[in-house]
Amino acid sequence: MPEANTAVMEFLHTRRSRPAKLLQDPAPDREALMPILTAAARTPDHGKLEPWRFIVLEKPALNRLADAVEQCGAETGRTEEDIAKARQQFLDSPLCVAVIEVQKPSEKIPAIEQTYSAGAVCLSLLNAALASGWGANWLSGWPSHDCAFSQKTLGLADNERVAGFIHIGTASAIPPERPRPDLDSITTWLDR
């Protein structure tokens, strides 16, 4: 049998996001965040294109995004409820890392593989934050899909989009376990 890394397997079998609403200060400082970002950047990436980058949103930036949500939401006809929810997520966040998918021109690597890799970065970042003892949650919401919003507030280029907002802080409570998939119903074994 191969030698198992039991600590990592134990983590993977028990890991659980901490809902963003339960996150409070303190958040990791720059020194504490660096190993988390380093782990996230060690993600499978076909062709070494590095089709992603990070934007770390500290408190003043989060407040600025909250204000921009209000303005952009009104301009694009979002409901008051949608605007308030998105605004509150930025206001409540102790720290947020926006994982940015950066589509690189390639004759060999399809665009969708770059998208998958950016999603994998989001999960790695989430897991690295959780494994470091922080509470963390991967959120999207309409601002992450609104190109005008992200170009204006985060300075994204035309080949860039938000893959995920990873909110990180100190969890004020541990949420109840979430039902997990029934393995038998999602797994097919082919032996020929």
Least separation in angstroms between residue 107's CB and ligand FMN is 28
Least separation in angstroms between residue 21's CB and ligand FMN is 9
Q: Which is nearer to ligand FMN, 5 or 140 (CB)?
A: 140
Least separation in angstroms between residue 139's CB and ligand FMN is 4
Q: Which is nearer to ligand FMN, 103 or 137 (CB)?
A: 137
**3 state DSSP class of 26:** coil
Least separation in angstroms between residue 1's CB and ligand FMN is 28
Instruction: List interacting residues with ligand FMN (CB under 6 A).
Output: 16-17, 137-141, 164, 178
CB atoms near residue 67 (< 10 Å): 13
Residue whose C-beta lies closest to ligand FMN: 17
User: Can you state the percent helix, strand and coil of the chain, rounding each to 5?
Assistant: 45, 15, 35
Q: Which is nearer to ligand FMN, 106 or 123 (CB)?
A: 123
Burial class (CB in 10 A: 0-12, 13-18, 19+), 63: middle
Q: Which is nearer to ligand FMN, 41 or 116 (CB)?
A: 116
Per the DSSP assignment, residues forming a β-bridge with 169 are: 135
CA-to-CA distance for 138 and 115, rounded, in angstroms? 16
CA-to-CA distance for 180 and 3, rounded, in angstroms? 27
